[in-house]
Structure 1
Amino acid sequence: MRIDQRLTPALLGINARQHLFLGAWFNLVHEHSLDSYRVRAMNPLNIVRELQRMFEPPADESDCRVVAEEALEILDKHPVIVDRASHYVALNDAVLLISEAVKSKEGGFRKNALLLKSFVRELEVSLARHFLQDCFEWMEQELLEIPDEETLQQRVLSDGNIDRVCRDILSVSHDEGFSLESLFHLYRVFVPSVERGAVPEVEPAPLPLPGPVEDQGRMPSAAPTPAPYDFAECFARVKRVILTEPQERRLIFVITGCTDEAAEVCCGNFGAITISEVPP
């Protein structure tokens, strides 16, 4: 487990839940953390996708059973899916059919196969459309404030749910193309290099020596004041980066030192890459 020594709640002004969330994020994306493998593990979206692949050859009944059991464990009482149940109308039917198939001694996945595939496919579509957004909205509300009369049992449950949803946010983001390095960079949006503000403090410049007459009497400029740390603003920024649809970019490179003979061989279209002697 990795702990960020610079994560000091008193300096950032964050509550215990926000501290837990940031600590979980750091531990999951740090390159030397043993827990970073959990980001690459199954989440509700890719386990449902994997289950659909098990319905086709060369997967057999035993393969379906192994993946189905994991799917039931991942989907069971998920705080976000339970809280946003209206977004996942196929969940109950899909879980019921998967459970029946797992409990069957043999041939369980061939029974009602078309119906099972239909509900699982519908569940995958709804998860792909809503799950990541729902995770951010659930987390935003959960981290806002801690109830005054929260019991120890409620705190343990809440902490477990925050850790679970944080992992799923990172896991789904990683599954959709964010590298661990990118997710670690987004952690630095939450915890900047200078803890007292989101904008690093600039060391005040030395006062200038008296110069010409026209400079005398001019007051030296004050050093910039760091902006106050705002967790909600940082959370919104990270949420916006992860949820924004990716944009296509066109990159142009210049290759130098290429002979005429090599140009005749190298120029052409290679998939999405074009090598040409003529500038675009």
Structure 2
Amino acid sequence: MSVDALLRQTRTELNDYLAALLQQRHAEAPRLKQAMHYALVLGGKRIRPFLTLQIGQLCGASQPLLWRAAAALECIHAYSLVHDDLPAMDNDVLRRGQPTCHIAFDEATAILAGDALQTLAFELLSHADADTAAANQLAMIQRLALASGDLGMCGGQALDLAATGQQLNEQQLQQVHHNKTGALIRAAAQLGVLAGNAAAQQYYSHFDQFAEALGLAFQVQDDILDVTGTTEALGKTQGSDAAAAKATYVQLLGLAGAQAKVRELHQKALHALARIPYNTEVLEQLAEYLLTRDH
């Protein structure tokens, strides 16, 4: 099966899993639950949970915990998009080809939906799993927390906002993206390994190096697509980074330089996988797919 077909299958299965997860929850506030569903279930590539599931399966992970981890990652990612789109931050009106959450509902409901999705992520990871060492499960909670907060995604968003209209050097821009986008992609790989068996833990650093290179390359490709893509293909407004005076790799290195950066990072990702004695073919195909995508 091609990686594109595997991604589509995972999206379908994960969407069903997430929808069932929310359906089972008692709705204290029905409108809030609707906004959570809107933000979490409708659309998205599901790259982060796909990474967790694929790496966890290679590492012999417990399936129930692995699916909860995949859902937790998507909860964090979805909450971050809801908050990023708010007028106080990026002020976007379109996400995944649909009105953003605060447009579809209202700003207060969108903020609460994001907050609720964030806490749901840690609720999911905290369920005891009989087939996983408690220390590993605790490490999973810690890794996701670190990747999500001021030392990871939130810190990256703060750096990104502070850099608006500024001229960054490559090291500064890399720091923004390592945190804003890369931290959660690295967490996706880390959770997959930590959910795995004892033998798999020796390859933690190699999977992490793969995800670190892939995460930065993913963001550089996003910067490229903001210039070369279309609003219809991207599902968000084309040129929004330039319009908002965002620091990007295209603005810093030029289009050809940014494309060369993607190729360099792609090779780093593949070198990391080559050091893992498992069948990493799907992960290799995923890297190729993500770094040559048009949306």
TM-score (norm 2): 0.28
Larger of the two Rg values belongs to structure: 1
Higher helix proportion, which one?
2
